[in-house]
Amino acid sequence: MTTTAFSLSTPLNPAALQRLLPALVVADSVRFPTDAEDLECRSDREATRKHLAAVLDQLGIAWESRALPVMAVDETLPLYQRADAVLTLIAPPSVPLPSDLIAVLAQRNVELRALRRLSPADPRGEGELAVEFYLDDWSRCGDLRADLQNLANRWELDLTLAPSDSKRPRRRLIAFDMDSTLIQCEVIDELARRAGVGDEVAGVTARAMRGELDFRQSFRERMAKLRGLDAREIEAVGNHLPLMPGARALMRTLRAQGHHTAILSGGFDYFAKKLTSQIGVNEVHANHLQIIDEQLTGDVEGEIVDAERKVLLLREIAAREGIALADTVAVGDGANDLPMLATAGLGVAFHAKPRVRESAPCAINHGSLEALLYVLGVPR
């Protein structure tokens, strides 16, 4: 990997930096080590460095460059220790960089210290793009969240903001909701369709997930409508669980990195365990369907896994595994996930209901489940 230092004749103002940004994100990483008149570009592609130089010429900015020897490049501190906050941008294929991203940062007096590309090199710009922007002051980022959310909605991409320490590599507990998070359906709705009450139950489920109904009460009401359903239908539904895109690859990576994963679901353990056998999850906590004489009774055995139960389980598992609560991650989509997302060190709303997207510390609205790796600072 070659590091090239560019000494510029004039500081990069926000407009110039924005125009330069598409050239910068092609590099592996870029640092602004001293002030806005210098930048260091790390890349193993000569074409990347030439492109950056060409854009500087177009901007009318005179420059001098020199290759820095390995010993001259300060690698004693990782990027997350050089900044106070990290903004992660995840853009689906063919979605361009927001043309006003740097302006939004400048309006809040937030300074860009460095950037790092997490997605694979894609000189043609046709693939998914994931970039970390290292910012100078977390205390000034509070007002930035709403601006970034508006920006993300307009450009149809994901922008997540977190303290830089969240990127520090360490073993984590990562807890997932199941329905509409790890799989592309609500299992209780699928069972209801086989019981002939699909529309009725699905309507209640949607309202409960939006936070319009008490989860525990609505859960019992929906369960009652499943009374008498042939237990063989459980297996039929379980054999056709549609995985959320990216679920298998995400779990494979988390497992390889030694993280502890758990499903904390208000759904049913039969399906969660079946899912575990497919994608590999360390443990499962969900409701257990009560079956008598090969039929569903319309009830569950044991305590209902509701919002409060999810929080308790998150805390218990973290304590048992010796993982600090600050090192936990929770991922979910429904209103009953909000307390868990708020309790975890990092709460991530995944393709979530509007109330959850607005309330969660972090949201993935466009990317697949694999985008969680980018949020955690894991390159691909």
Residue pointed to by tokens 């699928």: 190
Residue 369's closest CA among 245, 275, 261, 283?
Answer: 245
For residue 249, the one-letter residue type is A
Q: How many helices (H) and strands (E) does the chain have?
A: 14, 15
How large is the C-alpha radius of gyration of the chain? 24
Q: Is 121 left (phi over 0), alpha (psi -120 to 50) or beta?
A: beta
Catalytic residue IDs: 177, 179
CA 72 vs CA 114, 115, 261: distances in Å: 18, 19, 40
What are residue 249's DSSP bridge partners? none
- How far apart, in whole angstroms, are the C-alpha atoms of residue 195 and residue 190? 9
Structure tokens at 222: 């929906």
- How far apart, in whole angstroms, are the C-alpha atoms of residue 259 and residue 289? 29
What are residue 291's DSSP bridge partners? 296
For residue 127, the one-letter residue type is G
Q: Which residues contact 86 (CB under 8 A, 6 or more apart)?
A: 80, 132, 133, 134, 135, 161, 162, 163, 164, 166, 167, 377
